[in-house]
Chain A
Amino acid sequence: MTTMPNIELAKATVAEVADEAATKVVAREVNVYYADKHALHDVSIDIPEKAVTAFIGPSGCGKSTFLRCINRMNDTISICRVSGRIEIDGSDIYDRNLDPVQLRAKVGMVFQKPNPFPKSIYENVAYGPRIHGLTSSKADLDEVVTMSLKRAGLYEEVKDRLASPGTGLSGGQQQRLCIARAIAVNPEVILMDEPCSALDPIATAKIEELIDELRENYTIVIVTHSMQQAARVSQRTAFFHLGKLVEEGPTEQIFTAPQDKRTQDYITGRFG
């Protein structure tokens, strides 16, 4: 059908961008099946390093599914099957010899609903470094926790109650705690699956600000339902529709001069 030329076009765009920034994640012809359902069709995309890439599209279009392929979270769903190739820094993450647990330490994830552990704020952040043996002493761990909370912009708000439960924080604070928890293990890529959909506008603004700051050090991929958010925080945007990657390019271009009719319809609010 008419989708093929668009994918070609998208690849070309990636090639252009690749000159400016190094590519962190490369996906080629990724297909995902849930039992018999073909959820993702031949997705190929390059995700640049130290930039925010937004995935947009209507519900059920496969953007979250693709996101979860990048840290192999789909492995936990027994009926899910992934084919194709995804590389991070040139190495195949679906390699037989690669331990998905190691991969997930490198590719952190923040979920739609804030999901702090029902433990103290300190324990929430310290859990990752502890299981990966990243710190050698209590003081070291304290420092990592403090640093992570500071980077997540939460430290000032919680420094006096690190021992109180993480679940007692407000929604926005919980989500920033989850971000602190994710960056505490020093990942290279952070995947965010609609991180603001359960938050109020003020908390959302804080998270968006935070994402913008984190871009300095991390490669961020964010799935969002809000086109304004995608426009605000991302440098590149990919539009998914019905399990296919329709169009991908610099955010400005996607929002101002979309190449595909469907992208245009979606952005202008004709559907979705």
Chain B
Amino acid sequence: MTDIAAPPQGARRFGLSSAEAQARLRRRHAAEARFRAYGIGAIALAAIFLVVLIGDVIVKAMPAFTEYRLTMTVTPTLEQVSSDGTTDPQALRSGDYDAVLRRGLQELFPQVTTRALRRKLNNDLLSSGAAMTLRNRVLADPSAIGQPVTIEALLDDAADLYLKGLMTGRRESVGQGQAQVTLDGEDVVLTSSAPDFARALAEVKESLREEAAADRREAARLTAAAADVAGDQREALQKRIADLEGDAAAAEARAAAADAPERLTADLPSKLVFINGGIVKLTEIGASEARGTVLVPLANTDAVTAGGWDILTLTQPEANRRLDDQVVAWLEDLKQRGMVASHFASRFFTSGDSREPEQAGILGALIGSALTMLVTLVLCLPIGVGAAVYLEEFAPKNRLTDLIEVNINNLAAVPSIVFGLLGLAMFLNFFGLPRSAPLVGGLVLALLVLPTIIIASRAALKSVPPSIREAALGIGASHQQAVFHHVLPLAMPGIMTGTIIGMAHALGETAPLLLIGMVAFIVDVPGSITDAATALPVQIYLWSDLPEPLFQAKTAAAILVLLAFLFIMNGLAILLRRRFERRW
């Protein structure tokens, strides 16, 4: 004992104040600081990615949460809305509400008389959902028939996108000089005392230059590509290159002639002039005057002082967008009249899927997912926990249990699509369960989640301190009593965590659901677990595939809904966990 106190002869002395020791200390501190910095860096990087990702999704989703509606007053007549002239709900259900809306629009724009323009007015402005709104209104209150009814009619998705600024860039410039309006047959000739039109002309020339530059770039790209091919293909490419070069040269020539008037064709940005309460689309611009067609009639042809008129430039050429200048002019007119306004798109949360992007909602997928999760939870929690308790606490340790254990671990790593195939073969083809149903989806996802829950539950059971088990056994509790009274409650938080992870995994799972038909286009909101339904991730997948920009926004919005669902689910689970959690 006492020998230890005195250092043996010749032992090395460790000085803690020597220069060497100081250097060692500095190195250690530096290493620790470095490690801390790595850790903070990693977390910061992850946080940045998360913020960028979520931020991007939120920004993209914003257009899906608002919708533009046209507040219009229509008068539904009995012969229009009833198929047999009575107010019987069945008859009212099959009435021609589009006709009512058509008349309403006609009243808004009485000057639209030609067939082609009327068709445009009827088809391009309102969504087909508007007629549905009116029908519901009439069905709810048949006494409104024959009376003026004010409804908020949903706009068509293209019109909606235009108003949200997603269809084209807009540039407004206020007229600087006094404008003169002269009628010339169908056309209107505009002049300004300031170089307003010269500036507009310069903008057009600039667009031409950009167009020429784009053509040249494309030609250069094709030239490079042409070097790799031969024969007919090469000839076709060379012809295309020659065309592009020709176009570019022509555009450059037009751009170079600074004062030469330009015709505004559909492949150049549109210019609309707001003057005297009407809208004129410019077709030809000279340095001092411009010529255009009337889209919305002018109240008069009086001269307008500086600041009293505007030029609106739509940067996306008319040929490249779904909404032509005429409809844009109507929308701008309605906006000026204060009849279109943005509203919160509650429709997104209260309706099912639709072919029309402005009418598509998430509720069907949300309910489908909720029902699927319910089936999954009800199946896999008792089975998973039961299996884990048996394997961990009661099963004899032999080769068979080892085999089962290995297989459970392997199952956790099986690609989810394999479970989908299994579901297709077993539940649909063999048991004949309904296709696309949350019941089958839940069954398949339960198979997918079971291994996760079993593994997590076993780990949780294993981590309960043996002292608790011994305490129970020590006062004469049977093994089973010890497990169910003491071990399992203590393992519950861990089991919950495993279940949350498993369920979250299942909630985001798409592949197996595709195989059992939950990918179908289903408009109705499912009412039970055997109704055809789709699920949130599948809905996201479906929408992301569609070309309409509004569906792209809805895709992002659906992702947000899925995330919110996930957060709520996890929040609930954490609350439950708290209730079960006990310290020992």
Given contacts A118-B584, A131-B481, contact A104 B471 (CB under 8 A): no
CB neighbours of B582 from chain A (8 A): 118-119, 165, 167
Asked if residues A131 and B477 are in contact (CB atoms below 8 Å), the reply is yes
The 8 A CB mask of B501-543 against A (1 = contact, 0 = none) is 0000000000000000000000000000000000000000000
Expressed in whole angstroms, the minimum distance between the Cβ of A111 and any Cβ of chain B is 6
- 8 A-B pairs with the lowest CB-CB distances in the bound complex, closest first: A105-B476, A109-B474, A115-B467, A118-B582, A128-B475, A104-B476, A115-B471, A118-B584
CB neighbours of B472 from chain A (8 A): 117, 127
CA gap between A17 and B12 in the complex, in Å: 60
Most buried by A among B397, B465, B470, B583: B470
CA gap between A115 and B467 in the complex, in Å: 6
- Which residues 114-131 of A sit at the B interface, judged by CB distance below 8 A? 115-119, 127-128, 131
CA gap between A181 and B474 in the complex, in Å: 10
Expressed in whole angstroms, the minimum distance between the Cβ of B292 and any Cβ of chain A is 83
The 8 A CB mask of A102-113 against B (1 = contact, 0 = none) is 101110111101
Asked if residues B470 and A185 are in contact (CB atoms below 8 Å), the reply is no
CB neighbours of A108 from chain B (8 A): 474-476
The contact sample of 5 A-B pairs, CB cut-off 8 A, is A73-B474, A78-B397, A116-B471, A131-B485, A167-B583
Q: Does A132 contact B (CB under 8 A)?
A: yes
Q: Does A246 contact B (CB under 8 A)?
A: no
- Which residues 447-502 of B sit at the A interface, judged by CB distance below 8 A? 465, 467-479, 481, 485-486, 490
Other-chain residue from B397, B474, B477, B485 in contact with A111 (beta carbon distance below 8 A): B474
Other-chain residue from A76, A102, A118, A185 in contact with B475 (beta carbon distance below 8 A): A185
The 8 A CB mask of A173-217 against B (1 = contact, 0 = none) is 000001001101100000000000000000000000000000000
Most buried by B among A108, A117, A167, A181: A117
CA gap between A102 and B473 in the complex, in Å: 10
Q: Does A251 contact B (CB under 8 A)?
A: no
Asked if residues B475 and A182 are in contact (CB atoms below 8 Å), the reply is yes
- Name A184's closest neighbour in chain B (CB-CB): B475
Other-chain residue from B474, B583, B584 in contact with A104 (beta carbon distance below 8 A): B474
Other-chain residue from B465, B473, B478, B584 in contact with A73 (beta carbon distance below 8 A): B473
Given contacts A115-B467, A127-B485, contact A132 B476 (CB under 8 A): yes
CA gap between A117 and B582 in the complex, in Å: 10
Other-chain residue from B465, B470, B478 in contact with A101 (beta carbon distance below 8 A): B478
Q: Does A71 contact B (CB under 8 A)?
A: yes
Other-chain residue from A76, A102, A110, A111 in contact with B476 (beta carbon distance below 8 A): A102
CB neighbours of B475 from chain A (8 A): 104-105, 108-109, 127-128, 181-182, 184-185
Asked if residues A178 and B471 are in contact (CB atoms below 8 Å), the reply is yes
Given contacts A105-B476, A132-B476, contact A111 B471 (CB under 8 A): yes
Asked if residues B467 and A111 are in contact (CB atoms below 8 Å), the reply is yes
CB neighbours of B474 from chain A (8 A): 71, 73, 104, 108-111, 182
Expressed in whole angstroms, the minimum distance between the Cβ of A167 and any Cβ of chain B is 6
The 8 A CB mask of A8-43 against B (1 = contact, 0 = none) is 000000000000000000000000000000000000
The 8 A CB mask of A70-112 against B (1 = contact, 0 = none) is 0101001010000000000000000000000110111011110
CB neighbours of A104 from chain B (8 A): 473-476
CA gap between A131 and B472 in the complex, in Å: 10
The 8 A CB mask of A241-265 against B (1 = contact, 0 = none) is 0000000000000000000000000
Given contacts A115-B467, A115-B468, A117-B468, contact A76 B473 (CB under 8 A): yes
CB neighbours of B479 from chain A (8 A): 76
CA gap between A115 and B471 in the complex, in Å: 6
Expressed in whole angstroms, the minimum distance between the Cβ of B489 and any Cβ of chain A is 8
Expressed in whole angstroms, the minimum distance between the Cβ of A188 and any Cβ of chain B is 12
CB neighbours of B583 from chain A (8 A): 118, 165, 167
